Amino acid sequence: MKKNRAFARERLRVSKKSCTFVGCIVYMLLNKMQEVIEYIIQFLLYGNEQGAKLVGYTADESQWPNYRVVVVPNGHMGQQIILPTEDDLALRIEKHGNTHVVHTDVIYNTFFYISRAEELLVSDRDEHGRFLAQHSMLGKKNRLMIPLIDEYSRAMIKLLDLPLPEPGFSHIYLTHDVDSIAYYRHLRGAIGGILRGRAKQVLAARRDIHNDPAYTFSWLVSQDKKVESAQSIYFIKDTPGKGKDYPQYPLHSADFAELKRQLEDSGAQLGWHSSCYSIASSPHRLIASSPDSLTHHRSHYLCCSIEKMQQLVDMGVKHDFTMMFADQVGFRLQTTRAVRWINPMTWQLTELTLHPMVAMDCTLSHAHYMGLNEDEAYFECQRLFEKVHQNAGEVVLLWHNTSIDKQGYHRSLYEKLIEMLR
């Protein structure tokens, strides 16, 4: 995007031919920022490269007539991370001759949310080190259900007189975190079950894993297959953890071999479910079992941080499915669409794609999260699906195999959501 290099020229003029060491560094940084800016503009326009050439990012009024739409920089892009105020987020547009001038820096604001830069500015965390909806500005204002960036996209597309994206689901991912394969197949679980008066269940599960109440995979597979366009992903643990984070099934066991066979036969993808507390080493056993499993990742408890995401980049992980607040449904990235992650500490556009989650079973039901009844949970999911459909985004659901057997509505709600997606 040649014209958009006005941004770089406004910052500092550097000649390749007369490049000093410092000058070369600055030149590379400016090119890196230009790559980020060009990516964001194209993302806002749903990948329309020709449309992106009509968008300028400059405060130089002499350059404005060269573009159909100009976004005026707030001066922070590539320089400093600030927390946008409500006024900073609201769209302000004027006509300057034949050019629409957007005085809201939608490029910086988009960067701010898809990079999760907010988490560098706010120190609040829960007992698991998680940044929750209650810690975020938009979460505190109950504004997580409307994807701000997608609203920016629709406005920019209309200003350029381009066609809006056709409503629909670009992708549907039905995902399942396998925290435990079975309750009673290991000694500790069997003893606990007997002590709780469940001896018959324990004996049945010991005879055949399919009788274990946590082994609900046949039911999940049958439900997921009803959505023909959906991709099923099961995230498998393979790193040291502690407490509830500790993996309760060895990958060399016959139980895991049976599960792996069943899932692979169904066409499901295996992914890596990393520890909430550490990601220091790659999941060697999982990779040995399923070589392509490292391409897809989700952190246990939805624990993520800027540092952890960069570690994923360094390890070659291509797709992350952690992006949702554990305590509140809504759009953590402020978009319904998958985005390439930009490291806010280095301003580097990475190869890691973030897939925004729509809803998780326990987020909806648990008393310490939303604490909704089934009708309320269904209504919230319906609202989210409508926003995703309107913006041609992705549906990413997270349902645990262990939630299906428990008292409550997770089984019946999942059936209803599957019907909604068919």
Return d(Cα 403, Cα 365) in angstroms, integer: 10
Query: pLDDT for 360-397, tens place per residue?
Result: 999 999 999 999 999 999 999 999 999 999 999 999 99
* Distance between first and last Cα of the chain: 40
Phi, psi of 214 (to 5 degrees): -85, -15
Q: How far is CA 368 from the centre of its chain?
A: 22
Extended strands (E) in 34-170: 55-57, 69-71, 93-96, 99-102
Q: What is the pTM of this model?
A: 0.91
CB burial class (10 A; 0-12, 13-18, 19+) of residue 141? exposed
Residue 116 confidence (pLDDT) above 70 = yes
- Can you give the three-state secondary structure of 269-327, one letter per residue? EEEEEECCCCCCCCCHHHHHHCCCHHHEEEEHHHCCCHHHHHHHHHHCCCEECCCCCCC
Both tokens of 263, joined, read 């899932």
Nearest-5° Cα angle at 316, 252 to 313: 120
Sign for the pseudo-dihedral over CA of 195, 201, 205, 207: positive
pLDDT of residue 283: 78
Looking up tokens 């992980």 gives 317
Domains plus CATH for the chain? 2-114 (no CATH), 171-421 (3.20.20.370)
Question: Which residue did the predictor score with more confidence, 408 or 255?
Answer: 255
Query: pLDDT for 175-217, tens place per residue?
Result: 999 999 999 988 888 999 999 999 999 999 999 999 999 999 9
